[in-house]
């Protein structure tokens, strides 16, 4: 059965659309009152992630409220480290933490590669439920964290601003870090292929902390392993013309604009960029580009949101292959009215761009 709205998939394959598709990173989240109610009833975040019915409901909430062009499965990038036995938990106001972080090279050698069907089957069940609930209204995005980003949490024990522990390993024991990244790349590839089999129609890899690396280290410790995952994905053969059977993949490195050309040549279909990038400077047509509104602009008034939306659309210009998004996840105290204004602005303003 064909999708009722396939603009997002068409844009990822650099095909013509009548208006620019839009979705938002973290679109299922705490800025929505219905999400806060659902999370309160669940008791905690991980219960939501591991209960397919709750994850499906969270996935659907923004789709019911807004005219978005894609859904993204509700989950977390740290499900793989959790399945490896690190004991993921969340403390209010402090973000994710691990009960058993990696403290020694021997910890890495003992890490298992999770079986996505048994250890992470709850994510596949949520994808199947969401596909059924979506009823082909819009495509469903599956996702995972990049090996480097997962490794930062696993070694730091949670969030970090300086990444001291993992960078210490990078420079003092690179062989151990490469072993960890290799295991994570294998795990992510298996996990994403299982998501595709369960019904994900597009894949995104979030490299949230790649921008913390030096140029050489980014290529060797982040991009190398995303490349390995892209090579392993069972997404079908891209055709000369658009097809819904092909599963496109998007790579997003926050702070990674300097490496756009390198990322583009991994074989991915789209590159996500943050708000520091001028879209007019990027090559068009070889890969799609996703981005790149600063999420804090959504604190502005209607005129501010519409003007900044217009600037981004003008920067990209009259080309195929643009997916409008924020440059990172939506903030939890973002006014709902601002989201509505943004989506309407993207759709209305881009119609003029695509039809001139």
Domains defined along the chain, listed by start = 7-296+320-328 (3.20.20.210)
Average pLDDT over residues 230-239: 92
Instruction: Confirm whether residue 176 is marked as ligand binding.
Output: no
Q: What is the pTM of this model?
A: 0.96
Identify whether 65 is a catalytic site residue: no
Instruction: Confirm whether residue 31 is marked as ligand binding.
Output: no
Annotated catalytic residue, options 76, 82, 119, 207: 76
Instruction: Confirm whether residue 36 is marked as ligand binding.
Output: no
Identify whether 131 is a catalytic site residue: no
Instruction: Confirm whether residue 29 is marked as ligand binding.
Output: yes
Annotated catalytic residue, options 19, 153, 218, 225: 153
Instruction: Confirm whether residue 30 is marked as ligand binding.
Output: yes
Identify whether 225 is a catalytic site residue: no
Q: Distance between CA atoms of 108 and 104, rounded to whole angstroms?
A: 7
Contact 279/261 with Cβ under 8 angstroms?
Answer: no
Annotated catalytic residue, options 7, 10, 26, 235: 26
pLDDT per residue as tens digits for the range 305-314? 999 999 999 9
**pLDDT at position 158, please?**
80
Identify whether 76 is a catalytic site residue: yes
Identify whether 216 is a catalytic site residue: no
Average pLDDT over residues 7-30: 96
As a whole-number percent, the residues of the chain with pLDDT over 90 amount to 90
């Amino acid at each position: 059965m064909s999708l009722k709205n396939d603009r997002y998939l068409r844009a990822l394959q650099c095909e013509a659309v009548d208006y620019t598709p839009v979705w938002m990173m973290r679109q299922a989240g705490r800025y929505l009152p219905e999400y806060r109610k659902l999370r309160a009833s669940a008791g905690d975040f991980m219960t939501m992630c591991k209960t397919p019915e709750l994850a499906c409901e969270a996935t659907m909430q923004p789709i019911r409220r807004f005219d978005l062009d894609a859904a993204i499965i509700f989950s977390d990038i740290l499900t793989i480290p959790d399945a490896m036995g690190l004991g993921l938990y969340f403390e209010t106001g402090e973000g994710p933490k691990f009960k058993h972080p990696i403290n020694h090279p021997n910890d890495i050698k003992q890490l298992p590669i999770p079986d996505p069907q048994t250890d992470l089957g709850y994510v596949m069940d949520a994808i199947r439920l969401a596909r059924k609930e979506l009823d082909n209204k819009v495509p469903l995005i599956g996702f995972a964290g990049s090996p480097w980003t997962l490794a930062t949490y696993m070694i730091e024990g949670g969030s970090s601003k300086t990444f001291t522990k993992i960078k210490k390993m990078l420079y003092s024991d690179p062989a151990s870090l490469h072993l960890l990244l290799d295991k994570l790349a294998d795990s992510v590839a298996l996990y994403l292929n299982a998501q595709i089999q369960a019904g994900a129609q597009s894949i995104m890899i979030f490299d949230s902390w790649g921008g913390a690396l030096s140029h050489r280290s980014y290529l060797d410790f982040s991009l190398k392993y995303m490349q390995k995952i892209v090579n392993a994905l069972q997404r079908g053969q891209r055709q000369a013309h658009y097809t819904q059977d092909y599963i496109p993949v998007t790579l997003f490195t926050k702070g990674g604009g300097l490496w756009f050309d390198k990322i583009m040549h991994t074989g991915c279909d789209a590159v996500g960029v943050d708000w520091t990038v001028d879209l007019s400077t990027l090559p068009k047509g070889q890969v799609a580009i996703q981005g790149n509104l600063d999420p804090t602009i959504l604190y502005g008034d209607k005129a501010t949101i519409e003007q900044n939306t217009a600037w981004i659309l003008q920067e990209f210009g009259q080309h195929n292959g643009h997916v409008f998004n924020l440059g990172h996840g939506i903030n939890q105290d973002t006014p709902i009215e601002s989201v509505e204004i943004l989506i309407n602005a993207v759709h209305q303003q881009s119609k003029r761009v695509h039809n001139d």
